[in-house]
Amino acid sequence: MTTTDERPPVTVISGVLGAGKTTLLNRLLENNRGSRLAVVVNDMGEVNVDADLIERENPETGLIELSNGCICCRLQGDLVEGIVDLAENREIDALVIEASGISEPTPIARRLSQPPEEGLDPTEAVRLDTMVTVLDAYGFWKEFDAGASLPSEAPDPERPLAEVLVQSVEFCDVLLINKCDMVPDDVLDEITGVVSELNPRATIQETEYADIDPSLVIDTGRFDYEAASRSVGWKTALRESRTGKTSHDHATDEEEAGHDHAADDDEAGYNHTAHPVDSFVYRRARPFDPEMFADRLVEQPAGVVRAKGVCHVAGTDDVIGLNRAGAAVQAGPIGEWGDDEPRTELVFIGAGMDREEIESTLDDCLVEPGTTADEWGPTPFPIESVGEA
């Protein structure tokens, strides 16, 4: 990408532990074709970046190592200082930041792309260019399991892994589905379908050992905070459903897929059956019975990867926002209806979902017409559940 902006572009690599972030970083360093890359990593010892490679290829550029703690917790401090220092005092063409497997991409993006009210302004020195998320195709479905949580050193270890994973898929410009050598083609198609529903705007590439051309993730000009927030899959599905467009179906189609991934021993032992990927919107005007709805919510409907939206619940003037990632679900007040007509609008994204069953289960929780408000006890919201482990 050619630009008159002289600030070096920044690429941020996110992804859960072991997805292949360091593998990607080393690839970029190996294949950078003479461009001067500076690198920020959390902890050299742990991430095993080839420091010699950085020295050999980029003696004039630099590397910042942040030990003790994860990048997203240190945004106010040495990360920003280090980045500004690198950009101003070294001859660099681009900067690559490897976030730790427990970092959340959205606060990193916000801090690097928006001038702060006070303190050092990174946007004067660098330009946030590309948010990349590396996915582990082999571990993908396990990460959505109930009980999968973050390591104890994470900023919020109670936070379910599925939530961090979904956020890193929804908020990125480029998605690398890595470790493709370890899963069968149909499962790979299913993962690709799900992530493109979660983030229709992202460029999606299937990779083995993160083997990509660096131009896919460096100096792409793709980052756009507003567009990234606006075009998240569930918002897109909601907009499409309002304008009458039908939801699209990514059922596995061998002819369409056209992949040729060599099978190996790991792949042979893989235990997951692929299902058609789909999304739909559940929309009702009638309110939910609070207790019944809250009871239902903690159960994860089969095949649902993501559910998000607003709910009309009897006995409260509050809008109840619902946020599900895998088995983890939260629902609670996010404001009042005010002049808006109360309604339920929920987007479901998943693979192998039984739409009829999900809809009829929810319909069973709707209050009967003619029921009066004094029939409900105190609202059970907010509720939070990570599902059964």
Write out the H or E segment, with its range, that includes residue 210: none
Residue with smaller CB distance to ligand GTP, 30 or 340: 30
Residue with smaller CB distance to ligand GTP, 47 or 146: 47
Question: Rounded to 5 degrees, what are φ and ψ at 137?
Answer: -60, -35
Residue with smaller CB distance to ligand GTP, 98 or 289: 98
Residue with smaller CB distance to ligand GTP, 208 or 224: 208
User: CB of 160: closest distance to ligand GTP in angstroms?
Assistant: 18
The two most distant CA atoms of the chain are separated, in Å, by 76
Query: Which residues contact ligand GTP (rule: CB under 6 A)?
Result: 15, 17-23, 47, 101, 178-179, 181-182, 208-210
User: CB of 259: closest distance to ligand GTP in angstroms?
Assistant: 15
Is the four-CA dihedral 235, 236, 238, 242 of positive or negative sign? positive
In angstroms, the CA 115 to CA 151 distance is 31
Instruction: Give the residue from 87, 110, 79 showing the smallest Cα distance to 38.
Output: 87
Write out the H or E segment, with its range, that includes residue 82: helix 78-89
Residue with smaller CB distance to ligand GTP, 131 or 358: 131
Report helix, strand or coil for 316: coil
User: CB of 181: closest distance to ligand GTP in angstroms?
Assistant: 5
Residues 6+ apart with CB under 8 A from 176: 20, 24, 132, 133, 134, 135, 205, 206, 207, 210, 212
Residue with smaller CB distance to ligand GTP, 188 or 365: 188
User: CB of 61: closest distance to ligand GTP in angstroms?
Assistant: 20
Report helix, strand or coil for 349: strand
User: CB of 267: closest distance to ligand GTP in angstroms?
Assistant: 9
User: CB of 208: closest distance to ligand GTP in angstroms?
Assistant: 4
